[in-house]
C-alpha cells in the first residue's frame, strides 16, 4: 500500500512520471495510475492512489477482484468482463479502464522517484487488522481512518472524526 505524507509533497509529479514509465515505458501524466490532486485554494498537492477500501472487490459481480495474502487487491483478468462496476465504486477515482481495469499494484516506483520522502510503502499484512465491518457507505474502518487523516492534512472533510475508531 502506498502511504502519502501530504505535508512533504511539493507537487513535482515525479511519482506520476515514474508510474507512467513503469506501465508504458513513456513519460505521460495520462499513463500514470497515481494521480496528483491539486487543491490550489489550500496550496496543496496530494498524490492519490488506492486506499484498499474493499469497495471495488464488493462491487465486482464476477468476483474478479480479491485480496492477496499480503492485503493488496488483485485482479483476475480472466474473470473481468469490463462492466466497470469497480470503477464506479472507487471512492477516490483511481481505477481506470483501458482494455481491462488499471489500478495501483504497489510496485513502489513512485516511492523510489520521490526525493522528498512524501511516499512510502506499507506492508498491509503488518498493519493492525481492524474489524471488517463496513459502514453504510461501504467503507471499512481502515479506509475511514485513511480518509480522516487525509482530511486533517488537507482541511477537507472526508470523514468526520467521530466516525473514526482507532485500532491497534
pLDDT in tens, 66-98: 888 777 788 888 899 989 898 888 887 788 877
d(CA 163, CA 141): 9
pTM of the model: 0.61
Query: Could you tell me the maximum CA-CA distance found in the chain, to the nearest angstrom?
Result: 44
**Among residues 112, 152, 145, which one has the least CA distance to residue 129?**
145
Q: Class assignment of domain 2-161?
A: alpha beta
H/E element, 4: strand 2-4
Question: Sign of torsion, CA 21 65 51 40?
Answer: positive
pLDDT tier at 34 (50, 70, 90 boundaries)? confident
**Residue 167: which pLDDT band, with cuts at 50, 70 and 90?**
very low
Nearest to 42 by CA among 161, 159, 152: 152
Amino acid at each position: 500500500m502506498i502511504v502519502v505524507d501530504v505535508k512533504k509533497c511539493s507537487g513535482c509529479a515525479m511519482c506520476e512520471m515514474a508510474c507512467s514509465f513503469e506501465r508504458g515505458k513513456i513519460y505521460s501524466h495520462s499513463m500514470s495510475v497515481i494521480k496528483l490532486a491539486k487543491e490550489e485554494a489550500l496550496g496543496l498537492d496530494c498524490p492519490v492512489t488506492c486506499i484498499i477500501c474493499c469497495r471495488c472487490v464488493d462491487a465486482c459481480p464476477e468476483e474478479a477482484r480479491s485480496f492477496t495474502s499480503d492485503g493488496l487487491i488483485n485482479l483476475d483478468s480472466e474473470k473481468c468482463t469490463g462492466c466497470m462496476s469497480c470503477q464506479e465504486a472507487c471512492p477516490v477515482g483511481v481505477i481506470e479502464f483501458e482494455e481491462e481495469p488499471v489500478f495501483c499494484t504497489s510496485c513502489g516506483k513512485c516511492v523510489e522517484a520521490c526525493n522528498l520522502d512524501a511516499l512510502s510503502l506499507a506492508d498491509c499484512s503488518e498493519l493492525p487488522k481492524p474489524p471488517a465491518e463496513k459502514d453504510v457507505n461501504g467503507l471499512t474502518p481502515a479506509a475511514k481512518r485513511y480518509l480522516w487523516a487525509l482530511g486533517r492534512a488537507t482541511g477537507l472533510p472526508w470523514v468526520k472524526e467521530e466516525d473514526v475508531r482507532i485500532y491497534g
